[in-house]
Chain A
Amino acid sequence: MRGFGWAILFGWVVSMSAGAAMAQPVPLPEDYRHSDYDAPVPDHVPGALTVGDDASYALWRSGRVAFVDVMPNLARPASLPADAVWHGRSRQSVPGAIWLPDIGFGTLDAAAETQLQAGLIAATKGDRDAPVLFMCRADCWMSWNAAKRAVEQGYTRVFWYPDGSTGWTFWDWPTKRLKVFKIQ
Chain B
Amino acid sequence: MPHAQPSKLFLAMSLAIGLPLAAFAGGSTTNLPDYMSVANPMQSVETWNDFLREETVGEAMVFDGADLMALDAPVQAYDAATVPFTLRQRDAFGQRITNLKILVDENPMPLAAEFEFGEAMGNVTFESRVRYDVYSNIRAVATVEDGRMFMVGRFVQAAGGCSAAVSRDPVAALETMGQMRLKQFDTSGGQSGQVAGTERQVQLMIRHPNFTGLQVRTGTFDHIEARYIDRVEVTLGDEILFTMVGGFSISENPSFRFSYIDNGADYLNVRAVDTAGTEFTHSFALHSGT
Render A62-92 as a binary contact track against B, CB cut-off 8 A, 1 for contact: 0000000000001011111100111111100
Residue of A nearest to B225 (CB): A79
Cβ contacts under 8 Å, B55 to chain A: 85
Q: Which of B45-53, B85-93, B183-191, B199-207 contacts A (4 or more CB under 8 A)?
A: B45-53
Q: Does B108 contact A (CB under 8 A)?
A: yes
Rounded to whole angstroms, the CA-CA distance of A177 and B50 in the bound complex is 11
B195 in contact (CB, < 8 A): no
The answer to whether B275 touches A74, judged by C-beta atoms less than 8 angstroms apart, is no
Residues of B within 8 A of A125 (CB): none
* A179 in the interface (beta carbon within 8 A): yes
Q: Is the CB of B110 within 8 A of A85?
A: yes
Q: How far is the CA of A38 from the CA of B46 in the complex (A)?
A: 29
Contact of A89 among B134, B226, B247 (CB under 8 A): B134
| Number of inter-chain CB pairs below 8 Å | 49
Q: Which of B177-198 contact A (CB under 8 A)?
A: none
Query: Chain A residues with Cβ under 8 A from B287's Cβ?
Result: none
What's the minimum C-beta distance from B103 to chain A, rounded to whole angstroms? 11
User: Among the listed A78, A79, A86, which residue makes an inter-chain contact with B109, where contact means beta carbons less than 8 Å apart?
Assistant: A86
B213 close to A (CB within 8 Å): yes
Chain B residues with CB under 8 Å of A77's CB are: 212-214, 223, 225-226
**Chain B nearest CB, measured from A99 CB (Å):** 12
Taking chain B's interface residues, is the majority helix, strand, or loop, or is none over half, making it mixed? loop
Chain A, Cβ-Cβ closest to B111: A85
Are B275 and A81 in contact (CB-based, < 8 A)?
A: yes
Query: B247 touches which one: A74, A84, A90, A177 (CB < 8 A)?
Result: A84
B252 in the interface, Cβ–Cβ < 8 Å?
Answer: no
Q: Does B257 contact A (CB under 8 A)?
A: no
Q: Contacts A89-B108, A89-B134 given: A79-B213 contact, CB under 8 Å?
A: yes
Interface size on B, as a range, is 20 to 34
Given A89-B133, A89-B134, check contact A79 B106 (CB 8 Å): no
Instruction: Give bound CA distance, A77 to B225, whole Å.
Output: 8
How far apart sit A89 and B110, CA to CA, in the bound complex (Å)?
10
What's the minimum C-beta distance from B256 to chain A, rounded to whole angstroms?
21
Q: Does B227 contact A (CB under 8 A)?
A: yes
Contact partner of A87 (CB less than 8 A), chosen from B44, B51, B213, B227, is B51
Query: Would you list which residues of chain A between 170 and 184 have a CB under 8 Å from chain B?
Result: 177, 179
Instruction: Please state if B109 and A89 are interface contacts (CB–CB under 8 Å).
Output: no
CB-CB under 8 A for A87 and B109, given A79-B213, A177-B46: yes
> Beyond A79-B226, A81-B230, is A87–B133 a contact (Cβ under 8 Å)?
no
Q: Which residue of A lies closest to B44 (CB)?
A: A177
Q: Are A89 and B214 in contact (CB under 8 A)?
A: no
A79 touches B108 (CB 8 A): no
Docked-complex contact A88 and B108, CB < 8 angstroms: yes
A115 nearest CB across to chain B (Å): 18
Q: How far is the CA of A85 from the CA of B46 in the complex (A)?
A: 18
Residue contact A87 to B226, C-beta cutoff 8 Å: no
Please measure, in the bound complex, the distance between the C-alpha atom of A79 and the C-alpha atom of B134, giving whole angstroms. Answer: 22
**Chain A residues within 8 Å of B111, by CB:** 85
Q: Is the CB of A90 within 8 A of B108?
A: no
Among residues of B, the one whose C-beta sits closest to the C-beta of A176 is: B46
Q: Which residues of B contact A76 (CB under 8 A)?
A: 108
- Given A77-B213, A79-B213, A80-B213, the answer on whether A85 and B109 have CB atoms closer than 8 Å is yes
Q: Looking at A78, A80, A81, which has the most chain B CB atoms within 10 Å of its CB?
A: A80
Q: With a CB–CB cut-off of 8 A, which chain B residues contact A81?
A: 226, 230, 275
A89 to B93 Cα, complex, angstroms: 37
CB distance from A147 to the nearest CB of B (A): 28
How many Å from the CB of B222 to the closest CB on chain A? 11
A177: which B residues are within 8 A, CB to CB?
44, 46
What are the residues of chain B within 8 A of A179 when measuring CB–CB?
Answer: 50
* A81 to B110 Cα, complex, angstroms: 15
Choose among B47, B51, B106, B108 the residue with the greatest number of A CB atoms under 10 Å from its CB: B108
Task: Give the 8 A-B CB pairs with smallest separation, nearest first.
Answer: A77-B213, A79-B225, A79-B226, A80-B226, A79-B213, A77-B226, A81-B275, A80-B213
Question: Beyond A80-B275, A179-B50: 14 further Cβ-contacts under 8 Å?
Answer: A74-B108, A74-B214, A77-B225, A77-B226, A79-B213, A79-B225, A80-B213, A80-B248, A85-B109, A85-B247, A86-B109, A89-B134, A90-B46, A90-B47
